[in-house]
Amino acid sequence: MCNLGSVNLAAHLKDGGLDAEKLRATVRTAMRMLDNVIDINFYAVSKARNSNLRHRPVGLGIMGFQDCLHALRVPYASREAVEFADRSMEAVAYHAYWASTELAEERGRYSSFQGSLWDRGILPQDTLELLREERGGSVEVDASSALDWAALRSRIRVHGMRNSNCLAIAPTATIANIVGVSASIEPTYQNLYVKSNLSGEFTIANQQLVADLKRLGIWDEVMIADLKYFDGSLSRIDRVPPEIRNLYATAFEVDPSWLVEAAARRQKWIDQAQSLNLYLAGASGRKLDEIYKLAWLRGLKTTYYLRTMGATHAEKSTVRAGSLNAVPAEGDCGEPRPELCPIDDPTCEVCQ
């Protein structure tokens, strides 16, 4: 079992970066609350109760990552975004693990601590080297750090850990909607869309984008109609400046390799895993092969859903320029699909 919670990262920005002290206080409080849940929870199954009380695992994650990038004016598809993913997750991890040592000092270690990776002085970032040794290489990820991990290692040696696991990034689809931020570590799915649940249907607009378009003086009825027509994408709305289109690129417009690169930087700090969705507008065997090999090379533990575009889109009959999008008879490169598989052609994607 795992008891989950997520920090709204967007609420911890200050002066163009993370508010380190506020983030430390939030994570410290969150870890205490999650540890309390283990004791006060109702367990319908005795095995679940015994496991939870023995190992005391919790899973603290983040949400609002894309909102942070918007506020910092950093496109998701950029080295700056990858670096922010690294440093922000390092800070969350450092404070979470430190908080667990404080809880251990106050309340005692979890009962199966002896012999664990924590007890043996192995932190999550150390497991990359273990993976590299197991593979005989083939792990390529930036291993830099910015915080005093030596001090944390010393605390763990003295006080141990209260929780066998501390970090996990959950999807946060519903709670992010409630809070009003982007889900988890996801890029923006669409800048304008309709969300349906048991309470009805709600039109959701990217408020930061709306504010930018208002500032530029181009938020009007025509812009709203264009956003509806292009499914919340700015890529084909010419009067939107290129830097704005780049900043607010949606999930299917961001090359999935950037999602993997950012996730790889986070993964080295996380003792569990991430719900990492991948988005492919034009899925192909070659592209899938490339992206999953990159994830393996970067040492990711897992990926989550693979999301692709629908084969067809409904005609937007309320827009005069609407036209039905049909499935083309040609391949992705515009060439006719082969009738037979050329098994001696390494570029053929038919069998992949």
Write down the pLDDT at residue 309: 77
Provide the domain limits for residue 203.
190-249
Q: 234-241: which pairs have CB atoms within 8 A and are 24 or more residues apart?
A: 234/191, 234/209, 240/213, 241/216
% of the chain at pLDDT higher than 90: 77
**Same domain? 132 vs 180:** yes
Residue 21 has pLDDT above 60, yes or no: yes
**In this structure, is residue 34 part of a structural domain?**
yes
**Same domain? 182 vs 229:** no
**Same domain? 167 vs 223:** no
Q: Across the strands, what pairs with 60?
A: 5, 167
**Same domain? 60 vs 151:** yes
Write down the pLDDT at residue 344: 64
Report the pLDDT averaged over residues 145-162. 97
Last residue of a domain, one of 249, 273, 292: 249
pLDDT-based confidence at residue 351 (cuts at 50, 70, 90): very low
Q: Which amino acid would we find at residue 101?
A: T
274: Cβ contacts below 8 Å, ≥ 6 apart: 61, 168, 169, 185, 263, 266, 267, 300, 301, 302, 304
Please name the residue that has the structure tokens 């983030």.
Answer: 23
**Same domain? 178 vs 57:** yes
Q: Could you give the CA distance from residue 299 to residue 293 in angstroms, rounded to a whole number? A: 10
Helix (H) or strand (E) holding 303: none
For 270, phi then psi, to 5°, come to -100, 130
Write down the pLDDT at residue 66: 97
Q: Could you give the CA distance from residue 270 to residue 165 in angstroms, rounded to a whole number? A: 9
Q: Across the strands, what pairs with 307?
A: 279
Q: Classify residue 254 by its DSSP letter.
A: S
Q: Classify residue 167 by its DSSP letter.
A: B
Chain segment 263-295, per-residue pLDDT in tens? 999 999 999 999 999 999 888 889 999 999 999
Chain segment 190-200, per-residue pLDDT in tens? 898 877 777 77
Report the CATH number at residue 95: 3.20.70.20
**In this structure, is residue 120 part of a structural domain?**
yes
**Same domain? 195 vs 174:** no
**Same domain? 264 vs 168:** yes
Q: Could you give the CA distance from residue 226 to residue 316 in angstroms, rounded to a whole number? A: 11
**In this structure, is residue 272 part of a structural domain?**
yes
**In this structure, is residue 13 part of a structural domain?**
yes
Q: Across the strands, what pairs with 279?
A: 307
Q: Could you give the CA distance from residue 99 to residue 105 in angstroms, rounded to a whole number? A: 10
Report the pLDDT averaged over residues 289-304. 94
**In this structure, is residue 7 part of a structural domain?**
yes
**In this structure, is residue 218 part of a structural domain?**
yes
**Same domain? 160 vs 217:** no
Q: Could you give the CA distance from residue 291 to residue 285 in angstroms, rounded to a whole number? A: 10
Residue 315 has pLDDT above 70, yes or no: no
Q: Which of 125, 126, 124, 118 is nearest to 157 (CA)?
A: 118
Write down the pLDDT at residue 198: 77
pTM (2 d.p.): 0.85
Q: Could you give the CA distance from residue 77 to residue 58 in angstroms, rounded to a whole number? A: 31
**Same domain? 181 vs 201:** no
**Same domain? 85 vs 175:** yes
Q: Which of 26-30, 147-151, 249-253, 329-333 has the weakest average pLDDT?
A: 329-333
* Alpha carbon 157 to chain centroid, angstroms: 31
**In this structure, is residue 127 part of a structural domain?**
yes
297: Cβ contacts below 8 Å, ≥ 6 apart: 138, 139, 140
**Same domain? 18 vs 62:** yes
**In this structure, is residue 314 part of a structural domain?**
no
Q: Could you give the CA distance from residue 24 to residue 29 in angstroms, rounded to a whole number? A: 9
Cα-Cα-Cα-Cα dihedral of 126, 170, 75, 270, to 10°? -10
Q: How many domains does the chain have?
A: 2
Residue 240 has pLDDT above 60, yes or no: yes
**Same domain? 55 vs 146:** yes
pLDDT-based confidence at residue 16 (cuts at 50, 70, 90): very high
Chain segment 64-78, per-residue pLDDT in tens? 999 999 999 999 999
Report the pLDDT averaged over residues 311-321. 47
Q: Which amino acid would we find at residue 30?
A: A
Write down the pLDDT at residue 322: 39
Farthest CA pair distance, the chain: 71
